[in-house]
Amino acid sequence: MAHDFSAFVRRRGAHHLRTAVLLTGDWHAAEDLLQSCLVKLYKAWPRLDTATDPDAYLRRTLVNTHRSWWRVSWRRETPSDAMPDPPARPEDPALALAVRQALEILPPRQRLALVLRYFEDLPETQVAELMGCSVGSVKTHTHRGVRRLREVLGAELIPDDDEVEARR
Amino acid sequence: MNEATERAVRSLLATASDGGPERVEFEAPARRRRVLVPVLAALAAALAAVITMTSTTGSALAVVTAAAERTAGDSFRVTGSSVSPEKSMTSTGYFDPAARTGRTVVEGTGRETRFIGDQVYQYDGVRWTVEPRVDDPPVFKLAYMDPQAALAQLQAASQVKEEGAAPGDGWTGTRYSFEIDLPDLKGDRHVTGIVDIDEQGRVRHMEMQVGDSRNVADYFDFGAREEVAAPPDAQPAPDGKRSTRP
């Protein structure tokens, strides 16, 4: 069981860490969030049947745990030890930081909708199920989230739909 | 949203999450004690520790743990800040442990949290939501900005040393340095800190440092009374009925 679990984490952990950093905004908090969720998954692992997708289970746990942390975010903002392996520098670290900061400005549900829809690449129905809302609400959250991101980051990075259509 | 916009958003999210480790390792948690126990249990444990220690020695450790217990037993206001290279945050709050109420506001965000009994009300700048309070802190997090939990953590302090006078704004007291090794999945994390205790034996100021991150909390207005009311229009959080524990 431990071997299977470790293999899963090695295979998929980095991806879920990326989801976590988009939700939390920084790597320290992302690592904390992921590890907290991995502990929960580890405890549940023996109960998961073969039909249970551990990715989906971990994703749901990330969403729920992050939401509960955010609700008491003033408690959760804590010093965090340096990561054992310093993150590699992204190709454009300034842009990466700017996007994470822009995401932080968004209301949590807009941010969550964008991350699930456009990073996790989930269909709207699945995003709605995870967020506990309707597909229509998901559309609204993503639309408003993109619009806000564009306001913060600029239309050069996120082209305006109308302008794109007009250029055609 | 058209395809070009979607593609741009996907690309930006990929960039924003780029730079992490290529592989994550996980060390299965051994049976370990909880880093944070529920507040009341922590206070009881702190009290027991104080009784034991004060009966044998008037050590700096006993002074600090007694101050932590005393401070957490009364209402107070608190300001907190958390500073790391990536993020800074400041909050103000009020807590009444006896009434089990509290309120915190994170500056510059419009976010507010109210604790009333077993309920947590959260304002995200647009609307209020409510859900049962979850008392399941993540084991890896270190010095919580939760003033009660932070105080409770002092019971695990070691290497407590008196550092001299600690005059504050309207109070005088003594500064102590301390160290805490908090269990973590990757082994203990070493926390260093200072705590200022006033002449009434209450914690006034506390700093905890881990690596390049620092938490600071200032406690004041002891015995303050503030009404923390439930927002009238709070809606149950979406899927809030679900446990945060899958």
Of A65-74, A119-128, B49-58, B218-227, the range with the lowest mean pLDDT is B49-58
Across the interface, do B20 and A30 touch by the CB < 8 Å criterion? yes
Inform me whether the pLDDT recorded for B169 exceeds 60. Answer: yes
Band of residue B241 on the pLDDT scale cut at 50, 70, 90? very low
pLDDT of residue B26: 65
Of A137-151, B53-67, B180-194, the range with the lowest mean pLDDT is B53-67
Inform me whether the pLDDT recorded for B56 exceeds 70. Answer: no
pLDDT of residue A117: 93
Question: Would B92 be classed as within a structural domain?
Answer: yes
Decide if A80 touches B, using CB distance below 8 A: yes
Average pLDDT for residues B139-143, to the nearest whole number? 33
Q: Which of residues 22-41 of B touch A (CB under 8 A)?
A: 22-26, 28-29
Domain at A100, CATH number? 1.10.10.10
Mutate to test the interface with A, among B18, B109, B185 (most CBs of A within 10 A): B18
Question: Would B27 be classed as within a structural domain?
Answer: no
- What's the CA gap between B89 and B80, in Å, rounded? 8
pLDDT of residue B27: 59
Residue span of the structural domain in which B91 resides: 39-234
Domain at B158, CATH number? 2.50.20.20
Across the interface, do B17 and A22 touch by the CB < 8 Å criterion? yes
pLDDT of residue A77: 41
pLDDT of residue A168: 57
Dihedral pair phi/psi, residue B213, rounded to 5°: -115, 145
* Of B184 and B130, the one with more pLDDT: B130
Looking at the structure, tell me whether residues A163 and A94 fall in a common domain. Answer: yes
pLDDT of residue B208: 84
pLDDT of residue B82: 77
Decide if A126 touches B, using CB distance below 8 A: no
**Which residues make beta-bridge pairs with B190?**
B181
* Number of alpha carbons in the 13 Å side-chain half-sphere of residue B72: 26
Average pLDDT for residues B66-80, to the nearest whole number? 82
Average pLDDT for residues B154-162, to the nearest whole number? 80
Decide if A28 touches B, using CB distance below 8 A: yes
A158: nearest CB among B8, B19, B125: B8
Chain B residues near residue A127 by CB distance under 8 angstroms: none
Helix/strand/coil for B70? helix
Band of residue B194 on the pLDDT scale cut at 50, 70, 90? very high
For chain B, give the mean pLDDT. Answer: 71
Residue span of the structural domain in which A23 resides: 1-88
pLDDT of residue B136: 41
Chain A residues near residue B240 by CB distance under 8 angstroms: 132
Tally of structural domains, chain B? 1
Q: At what angle do helices A54-71 and A124-131 cross, to 10 degrees?
A: 50
- What's the CA gap between B122 and B240, in Å, rounded? 12
* Of B154 and A112, the one with more pLDDT: A112
pLDDT of residue B91: 82
Inform me whether the pLDDT recorded for B14 exceeds 60. Answer: yes
Inform me whether the pLDDT recorded for B69 exceeds 60. Answer: yes
**For chain A, how are helix, strand and coil distributed in percent, rounded to 5?**
75, 0, 25
Pick the last residue of a domain from A70, A88, A106. A88
Domain at A71, CATH number? 1.10.1740
Of A135-139, A145-149, B76-80, B193-197, the range with the lowest mean pLDDT is B76-80
- pLDDT block averages, 10 residues each, chain A of length 168: 75 88 86 84 80 85 82 43 42 83 89 93 91 92 93 88 61
Helix/strand/coil for B146? coil
Tally of structural domains, chain A? 2
Distances (CA, A) of B240 to A122, B19, B233: 21, 33, 16
> By the 8 A CB rule, do B14 and A76 touch?
no
Inform me whether the pLDDT recorded for B182 exceeds 80. Answer: no
Pick the last residue of a domain from A28, A57, A88. A88
Looking at the structure, tell me whether residues A162 and A95 fall in a common domain. Answer: yes
Q: What angle do CA B225, B202, B103 make, to 5 degrees?
A: 35
Across the interface, do A72 and B146 touch by the CB < 8 Å criterion? yes
Q: At what angle do helices A135-153 and A93-105 cross, to 10 degrees?
A: 130
pLDDT of residue B196: 93
Looking at the structure, tell me whether residues A15 and A65 fall in a common domain. Answer: yes
